[in-house]
Amino acid sequence: MSGSITTDDLATRIDDAARAPYILDVRSSDAYDQWRIEGKVPLDIANIPYWTVLGEMESVLGTLPKHREVIVVCAHGGSSGMVVETIDQKNVHNLQGGMDAWANTLVPRTLWDDGSSFVVQFDRVAKGCLSYAVGSRGASMAVIDAGASLEPYLALAEEMNTTITDAFDTHLHADHVSLGRQVAAHTGATYRIASGDAETARFDFAPLIDGERFEYGDLDVVVRSVATPGHTPGSTSLEVAGRFLMTGDAVFVSGIGRPDLGGQTEPWAKDLFATIHETLAALDHGLEVCPAHYTSRAESRDDGTLHRSLGDLLTNDPIVSMTDEAAFVAYVVDHLGTPPSQYDDIRKVNLGHLQPDPEMLKELEVGRNECALSK
């Protein structure tokens, strides 16, 4: 009696040790080593290619738990479905859509809701990407750093009876294809990004200006842009409702955004040092830093959200708290690995210089982000 499970359902369970299933990944070892399902808690996961499972069924069955749910995973859901049907046990289920579907799964979590205004964090769990929606019920809403799929943002707008009027990118993304322009095209919203990151863009955009303010319904929801260069020249943080600071990849809940993706590591590292110790340090330290990425689900809070007070980050993060510019730059230069080879193509896509077909798009976005540098 085989069955299946959606990626949305799986995403809500992998952070809970009591509910996390056993995972049997039947892809090749190379595909598994490149990218796999991960949670906040260590998962019980085995990688046995589907041809081995089918050829050595009896011995494989002996390794699977009898009284616990087993989720079988492959690239697209086909091979895993065949394995599940062959095993035919009620506790063994197929992951619908496989890793393709997992790659684009967004989990919404509310950061703040006063009954009128709201701030929602969307977690793309497969890649460690975070995006946001801020707005007021019955009025308007903005989407920040959209990725993966339009549907969750559109569904939230419908639920809140709002109109999406702005789509922001805090910077030129290199690890994933931005959906900011698609959000704008679908809804009639204005796409906004700093000119410093989009000078060569082959599309129209509204340039973000330092200090610019945007309102969405109630006055409680005011977005103020703050130039925070370093990860990229045009990186811009958005202060929301006097409570949150959407920092993009400038700083994370742990560590900083790598400043080497434009090939100017030392100058950009100096810009980032100034951003931290001049711009961010001058803001309200009670603001909650809400970044565009994270390295591990272990960084999340008990409710699954990811954020950290600016004051705590400035004081206690081993890199952010470094006060000597030369030491900061030297550390950055010495500890950066080589960025993934596809990042250059992703930047081209996000500037409109490259139009990928669906298969290329899928290949570009395989794997978790590697945007952070942390100790």
Q: Each residue's pLDDT tens digit in the chain (375 positions)? A: 468 999 999 998 888 888 889 999 999 999 999 899 998 888 999 999 999 999 999 999 999 998 899 999 999 999 999 999 999 999 999 999 999 999 999 999 999 999 999 999 999 999 999 999 999 999 999 999 999 999 999 999 999 999 999 999 999 999 999 999 999 999 999 999 999 999 999 999 999 999 999 999 975 668 888 888 888 899 999 999 999 999 999 999 999 998 887 778 899 999 999 999 999 999 999 999 999 999 988 899 999 999 999 999 999 999 999 999 999 999 998 988 788 888 999 999 999 999 999 889 888 888 887 777 776
Structure tokens at 185: 């095209």
pLDDT of residue 2: 66
In a domain, 261, yes or no: yes
Does 374 reside within a domain? no
Enumerate the active-site residues: 74
Same domain, 334 and 348: yes
Structure tokens of 42? 């260590």
* pTM of the shown model: 0.94
293, β-bridge pairs: 129
Are residues 303 and 271 both part of a single domain?
Answer: yes
Q: Which domain holds residue 27?
A: 3-102
In a domain, 367, yes or no: no
61 within a domain of the structure (yes/no): yes
Q: What is the pLDDT of residue 198?
A: 95
Q: DSSP E strands: which ranges in the chain?
A: 3-5, 22-25, 45-47, 70-73, 92-95, 106-113, 117-124, 129-136, 140-144, 163-168, 190-193, 206-207, 213-215, 222-227, 236-240, 244-248, 256-257, 288-291, 308-309, 372-373
Q: Which of 47, 75, 102 is the last residue of a domain?
A: 102
User: What per-residue confidence (pLDDT) applies to 336?
Assistant: 85
Residues 34 and 182 in one domain: no
Strands laid side by side in the 190-193 sheet: 106-113, 117-124, 129-136, 140-144, 163-168, 190-193, 206-207
- Count of all residues that appear for the chain in the document: 375
Q: Residue 161's CB: how many other CB atoms inside 10 A? A: 11
DSSP structural state of residue 217: S
